[in-house]
Amino acid sequence: MAILPFTQPRYLLPLFLGFFQGALLLFFALFVTFDEPSAQAEDANLVAYQIYSTFPFFQDIQVMLVVGLGLLLTFLPRYGLSALTHNFLLLNFSMQWALVLQGLIHHFHHGQVHLDLHKLLISEFAAVTVLISVGAILGRSSPCQLLAVATCEVPAYLASEWVIVNCLGVLDVGGTITIHVFSCYFGLGVSKALFWAGQKPLHPKETPTPRSDLMSLVGMLILWVFWPSFVAVLCQPGDSQHRAILNTLLAMSAGAITTVVASSLLERDGKLSPSHLQNGSLAGGVAIGAVANMAMPPVAALALGSLSAVTCVLGFRFLTPLLGRKLALQDQCGIHNLHGLPGILGAAASAVAILVAPKDTSRSYVSQLSPSGGNASEVVGEQQGDGGVSRQALCQAAGLAVAIGASLVAGLLTGATLRLPCLARPPERLCFDDSLYFKFQDQDESLGAGSTTEEGALALKEHV
C-alpha cells in the first residue's frame, strides 16, 4: 500500500538526527577536549573571573531562546506544541553543528579543539540566526525541512560573520547586522524559493486566538526582560558593558511605549493589536545592538528605540501586505518587521554615531569586542588618521550590504533545496496543526487497533 508523502519523515527524522548525534559523539571523542588546568594562581583567578562574569549572561540568553522565543512563536493556536518543540530542537542542533564547524575552521590546533564557555556562547549566536530565519516558514514546513535550513544556514552565517567583522572591521557588538539582518533576509530568501508559486491564502488554522496571543505576549515579556544580556554579553567588562546595558534598557523601554502609541493610532477604534505589541516592543533591542556600547547621549538610545518601534508597527500594517501582493512573499512571523527593518535602522545609526562622535571617541570604538569573539582593532587600526572615521562609517554600510546580499543568495539556494520531496513538506490542508507531528489520546481513540499508516493519515485529514 502506497505511503502518503507526508508520512515519510517517520524514519527520516530519527535517522537523520541519530546519524548527526553519532557523528558528533565520534568527533568529540577524537578531537575535542577542555583547556588544561592552569598551574599559576593568576591564570586560575582570571579563568574564574571570566566564568563568573559570563555565565549569568549565558543563562539569561538560554532563557530567552528556550522559553521566551519559544512562547513568542505560539501565536498560532493549533501549532503551539510544535513551535516550542521545534524551536528547542533547532537550538540544540544548530549549536552543536556550529561548535563542530567553528572548531574545524578557527580552533583546530595540534589535532585538538579546546572547548570553553566562550566558544559555546559564540555557537549559540549562530543558532539564533536559525531560530529567527525559520519564523518566515513557521507552520508550513516539516521538521526535516527545518533541520535542512539549520544545516545550510550555520556555515553561511559563520562565513558572512567572518567577512563582516574580520575583513571589513564592522562594529556590531549586539549582532544587529551579523545576526538580525542576516537571519531575516536568509529566512525571506528561503520562503521565496520554497513558496515560489505565489502567496498562500489565509489558512483557517492560521488566525490567532486570545489565548494563543496571550502565550505569545508572555514570550515577548521574557525576551524583553533578558534582552540586555544578549546585547552586552560580549562587551568588554566595565564601562563598555555598563553602557551597553543602559542603552539597551532605554531603547527597549522607549520602544514599548511607542508601540502602544503607534498601534492605537493605526487602529480605527483605538484598540491595540497583539502582533504589534509582541514585536514592536522588541524592535528597540534589535536596532540598538550596533551602537549599544558607543559613547552616545541617552536621548539617542531613546530616539532609536522609538523610531525602530514605529518602523516595526508600520511594517506590519503596510509593508507586509504590500510585499505579499507585489512579490508573493510569505513571512509567517513578520521577521522582516522585527529583525530586518530595525536591523537596517540600527546599521544606519551606527554609521551616523561614528561620524558625529568626537574623533578620540570614535577611534576608541575599534577596540570594542565583536560578536565573533575577535578584536576589530586589528582590521581597522590602519584606518586611524585623516578620513579614518569616514572609512569606518563606510565599512558599516558595506557590512550591511554584505549581510543582506549573502543571506538572500544563501537563503534562495536553501529554499530551493527544501523543495526536494524527500524532506516531506506538509500538504497545505495539514499545515499549522500539532496533530501532524504529535500523538494525542483522542486521536488514538478515533483509530482502530489494526489501522494502517495510510488509514491513520486519512483519518487525520478528516479530523482536521
pLDDT at 63 over 80: yes
C-alpha cell at 129: 540566526
Three-state secondary structure call for residue 112: strand
- Please indicate, yes or no, if residue 285 is contained in any of the structural domains: yes
The answer to whether 102 touches 159, Cβ cutoff 8 Å, is: no
pLDDT at 379 over 80: no
**Which among 237, 212, 203, 226 is positioned nearest to 464, based on CA atoms?**
203
Residue 266 belongs to domain with CATH number: 1.10.3430.10
Question: Among 226-230, 405-409, 421-425, whose mean pLDDT is lowest?
Answer: 421-425
Residue 185 belongs to domain spanning? 54-195+209-426
Give the number of other Cβ atoms within 10 Å of residue 214's Cβ. Answer: 15
Model confidence pLDDT, tens digit, residues 100-117: 999 888 777 778 888 888
Looking at residue 388, its pLDDT comes to 74
C-alpha cell at 366: 575599534
- Please indicate, yes or no, if residue 445 is contained in any of the structural domains: no
pLDDT at 238 over 50: yes
Q: How much of the chain, in percent, has pLDDT values that exceed 90?
A: 68
Looking at residue 51, its pLDDT comes to 84
pTM: 0.90
pLDDT at 451 over 60: no
Q: How much of the chain, in percent, has pLDDT values that exceed 70?
A: 84
Average pLDDT, the chain: 87
- Please indicate, yes or no, if residue 12 is contained in any of the structural domains: no
What is the spatial order of strands in the sheet that 112-115 belongs to? 32-34, 112-115, 108-109
In whole angstroms, what is the distance from residue 223 CA to residue 195 CA?
30
Model confidence pLDDT, tens digit, residues 166-205: 999 999 999 999 999 999 999 999 999 999 866 667 788 8
- Please indicate, yes or no, if residue 451 is contained in any of the structural domains: no
- Please indicate, yes or no, if residue 458 is contained in any of the structural domains: no
Higher pLDDT, 358 or 142: 142
Residue 274 has φ and ψ, to the nearest 5°, of: -55, -40
Bridge partners (DSSP) of residue 184 are none
| Residue 155: band (very low, low, confident or very high) from pLDDT cuts 50, 70, 90 | very high
Mean of the pLDDT values across residues 426-446?
A: 81
Looking at residue 425, its pLDDT comes to 87
- Please indicate, yes or no, if residue 357 is contained in any of the structural domains: yes
Q: Residue 266: in which H helix or E strand, if any?
A: helix 239-266
Give CA 155 to chain center in angstroms: 15
Within 141-236, where are the H helices?
143-162, 182-194, 210-232
pLDDT at 447 over 70: no
- Please indicate, yes or no, if residue 461 is contained in any of the structural domains: no
- Please indicate, yes or no, if residue 40 is contained in any of the structural domains: no
Domain count, the chain: 1
Mean of the pLDDT values across residues 437-442?
A: 82
* Interstrand relation of 32-34 and 108-109 (parallel, antiparallel or unpaired): unpaired
Looking at residue 41, its pLDDT comes to 57
Residue 385 has φ and ψ, to the nearest 5°, of: 120, -165
Bridge partners (DSSP) of residue 32 are 113
Residue 357 has φ and ψ, to the nearest 5°, of: -75, 155
| Residue 296: band (very low, low, confident or very high) from pLDDT cuts 50, 70, 90 | very high
Looking at residue 363, its pLDDT comes to 53
pLDDT at 35 over 80: no
For residue 115, give the DSSP letter.
E
